[in-house]
Amino acid sequence: MRLLVLAVLVACHPPGYDKHQDIDAGEVDAPAIVVDAPVAAATCTKSFRLDGHGSAQSVWLSGEFVSWAPTPSQGAVVFTRDAGGGWTGSYAFAAGQHTYKFIVDGNTWILDPTNPMTMDDGMGNTNSVYVCTPST
């Protein structure tokens, strides 16, 4: 019975288990350890301004980047009105091309009047386009 227990114990150890080699003393080649540093997501923070709607009660930003959210509770970006009546807001976009519109007073979707880049969505609508090209 003792022989069987010894055989089981010997069989449970991996090869080289009882050989102590000192890696720091250079007795063995240490494997290279590669640690990947966390990669920050490539983004561009874009600031927007909408003038000419000083009497509006609200202005929001929506687009494909927030699944065309129609309200802030669903993801639309809330703008704030400054003392001059202009509405401002910003959003951190992922790298790539993004379509968007402004929503004035919760129901009027308009193009960005300061951005000449537009795109037809294939369903008869035109959207403003922003292209995020992060600097490296």
All domains in the chain, ordered by first residue: 43-132 (2.60.40.10)
Whole-number pLDDT of residue 9: 42
At residue 73, φ and ψ (nearest 5 deg) are -65, -20
14: helix, strand or coil: coil
Q: Give the separation between CA 93 and CA 135, rounded to whole angstroms.
A: 13
Tally of CB atoms within 10 A around 78: 12
Q: Give the model's confidence band at 17: pLDDT under 50 very low, under 70 low, under 90 confident, else very high.
A: very low
- DSSP designation for 12: H
C-beta separation of 88 from 80 below 8 A: yes
Task: For the chain, give the mean pLDDT.
Answer: 82
Question: Would you place residue 42 in the very low, low, confident or very high pLDDT band (cuts 50, 70, 90)?
Answer: confident
